[in-house]
Copies of this chain bind each other. A is one copy, B any other.
Amino acid sequence: MFESAEIGHCIDDETFDAEVPALRQALLEAQYELKQRQDFAVIVLINGIEGAGKGETVKLLNEWMDPRLIEVRTFDQQTDEELAHPPAWRYWRALPPKGRMGVFFGNWYSQMLQGRVHGRFKNAVLDQAISGAERLEQMLCDEGALLLKFWFHLSKRQMKQRLKTLRDDPLHSWRISPLDWQQSKTYDRFVRFGERVLRRTSRDYAPWHVIEGADANYRSLAVGRILLESLQAALARPPKDKRQANVAPLGRSLDRKTLLDALDLTRRLEKDDYQEQLVTEQARLAGLLRHKHMRRHALVAVFEGNDAAGKGGAIRRVAAALDPRQYRIVPIAAPTEEERAQPYLWRFWRHIPARGTFTVFDRSWYGRVLVERVEGFCTPADWMRAYGEINDFEEELSRAGVVVVKFWLAIDQQTQLERFEAREDIPFKRYKITEDDWRNRDKWDVYREAVGDMVDRTSTEIAPWTLVEANDKRWARVKVLRTINEALEAAFAKHGK
């Protein structure tokens, strides 16, 4: 895989100087067209051997192109804040928006390779990381991103020679980092595992480009050209050209029965019982969030439900138990301009709580398989693949110790009607009812089917759905609080001690 990057590619200065002006011009033009159209983001991953000119090449690209539209990120040691979040969080927060280009050094590949080369884990774990990278990249490309992966290569001989040259040159010896020396010892392992990673992750939508790094002219021109060709090809696609998935129908429940039918909506709590249980559960939650095991966990509670099912009231009862510094409530409405310029899950990743804290999502990433599906705001391919993407997302959270609790607050049509009418009668509640609510009500059955599919496909051991009988608000509120408490206790019992 690396052989042809060891044959001494080079470009003489004359050729280089003759080629660069046109290349620069074309790159700039592509960059501005990208900015103008804002159809997709460009993500460039820089990996490979130390000393093969990774930094110099990116520096040069920044000179050639408009650096205001390029964000270069290095993922080195994790910051405290990054350590408090799931591992993928640092990459999500750094994603360039549509119309711009992000260059990632020390990205996910660097992490997995370092870990494997230094024996921190075996091939099976490396393969898990590879598979995670594939899922992330496939999702990014499905969301329209142009992903370029460069591996800068040097043969062992070339690498050693370069280190020697630098060492002997007093002006440049400072450029040799301890990492360089270390790598000269681990070169063989690095290349061997590097090949495993490249082999597995070179896919049609995001192939690896191996660049021989010895000659500066060659590597600069090679990277510039590939970048240009890829940009031009991506710009030439019609704006809405998404990958046409072979979307398979999900099939419907034949007897039209879903889990929602299994709910006993007559469940209720009398006022006295409610008061007592509410206070008990609130105190329990307050205690749990102050518990020392909470330092290893974070808590995410997702609230979805029929209109007027009482999400707001339930959320307030949860919040009432807590110090406002402990939690954040994130209401999810239509995405902002900034959010629309990012992959779908980005606007949720940004609100994922740090360890020790708690975030309530008032509506959530499930919008894609509910309202966006029903209203046709996204294509069937988009919402179909969302089930898998959401499961991957929640698995990442869960693996990092985030406890994910998901509620669907269910009421029947009659109860909804009564609440809608009541809202129209009570002046201070009138803002809560809109034309949209009445329209959604007409789509009761379609939503019901979407909810059924959602629960079937995303209620998992690591992040189960809890269906809440919400005709009686008291019952619903207590059930919500109790479910959160039980989930936290289970997590503490598992990871605690």
A residues whose Cβ falls under 8 Å from a Cβ of B: 1, 3-4, 7-11, 122, 124-125, 127-128, 130-131, 134, 141, 146-148, 192, 195-196, 199-200, 202-207, 209-210, 218, 221-222, 225-226, 229-230, 233-234, 237, 241, 243-255, 257-259, 261-262, 381, 384-385, 387-388, 391, 395, 452, 455-461, 465
Rounded to whole Å, the gap between the CB of A328 and the closest CB of chain B is 28
| A255-B10 in contact (CB<8A) | yes
- List, in ascending order, chain B residues with CB within 8 A of A7's CB: 257-259, 261-262
CB of B226 within 8 A of CB of A257, answer: no
A351–B390 CA distance with the chains assembled, in angstroms: 41
Q: How many chain copies?
A: 2
Q: Least Cβ distance of A42 to chain B in Å?
A: 11
- Check B395–A247 contact: CB distance below 8 A: no
Q: Which residues of B contact A130 (CB under 8 A)?
A: 131
Nearest-neighbor residue (CB-CB) of A464 within chain B? B3
Q: In this complex, what residue of B is CB-closest to A249? A: B229
Say yes or no: B221 contacts A4, CB within 8 Å.
Answer: no
- A362 to chain B minimum Cβ distance, whole angstroms, is 24
Partner of A253, one of B9, B237, B261: B9
Contact residues in B for A147 (Cβ distance below 8 Å):
248
Could you say which of B134, B218, B246, B385 contacts A254, with CB atoms under 8 Å apart?
A: B218
Please name all residues of chain B whose beta carbon is closer than 8 Å to the beta carbon of A261 when the two chains form the complex.
Answer: 7
- Residues in B neighbouring A202, C-beta threshold 8 A: 387-388, 391, 457
Assuming the contacts A1-B460, A127-B131, asked whether A245 and B385 have C-beta atoms less than 8 A apart, the reply is no
Contacts of A203 in B (CB 8 A): 385, 388
Residues of the B chain whose Cβ atoms lie less than 8 Å from the Cβ of A233: 247-249
Question: 14 new A-B pairs (CB below 8 Å) besides A218-B254, A229-B249?
Answer: A3-B459, A9-B253, A146-B246, A195-B460, A200-B391, A204-B248, A204-B387, A210-B456, A222-B254, A226-B249, A229-B251, A230-B248, A233-B248, A241-B244
C-alpha spacing A8/B257, complex, angstroms: 9
Contacts of A246 in B (CB 8 A): 141, 146, 204-205, 234, 237, 243
**Chain B residues, Cβ within 8 Å of A251:** 209, 222, 225-226, 229-230
Complex: how many Å from CA A134 to CA B200?
13
A205 touches B247 (CB 8 A): yes
Across-interface contacts of A128 in B (CB, < 8 A) = 124, 127-128
Instruction: Report Cα–Cα, A3/B387, bound state, in Å.
Output: 16
Are A249 and B230 in contact (CB-based, < 8 A)?
A: yes
Contacting pair B9 A257 (CB below 8 A)? yes
Query: In the bound complex, do residue B222 and residue A461 qualify as a contact, i.e. CB atoms below 8 Å apart?
Result: no
What would 27 A/B residue contacts be, using CB atoms closer than 8 Å? A3-B459, A4-B258, A4-B455, A7-B261, A8-B262, A9-B254, A9-B255, A9-B257, A127-B128, A128-B128, A141-B246, A147-B248, A195-B460, A196-B461, A202-B391, A203-B385, A204-B248, A204-B384, A204-B385, A204-B387, A204-B388, A205-B245, A205-B247, A218-B255, A230-B249, A234-B246, A243-B245
Q: Chain B residues near A210: list those with CB within 8 A.
A: 456
Interface-central residue, A205, A246, A258, A460, by most chain B CB under 10 Å: A246
- Min CB distance A347 to B, Å, is 21
Residues of B within 8 A of A252 (CB): 225
CB neighbours (8 Å) of A204 from chain B are 245-248, 381, 384-385, 387-388
- The chain B residue sitting closest to A387, CB to CB, is B202
How far apart sit A391 and B1, CA to CA, in the bound complex (Å)?
11
- Cα distance A222–B381 when bound, in Å? 23
Write the chain B residue with the least CB distance to A220. Answer: B254
* Residue from B192, B229, B230, B385 in contact with A461 in the complex, judged by beta carbons closer than 8 Å: B192
A387 and B461 in contact, given A218-B255, A255-B11, A258-B4 (Cβ under 8 angstroms): no
In the complex, are the beta carbons of B230 and A254 less than 8 A apart? Answer: no
Bound-state CA distance A243–B7 (Å) is 37
Which residues of chain B come closer than 8 Å to A3, judged between CB atoms?
259, 455-456, 459, 465
Nearest-neighbor residue (CB-CB) of A141 within chain B: B246
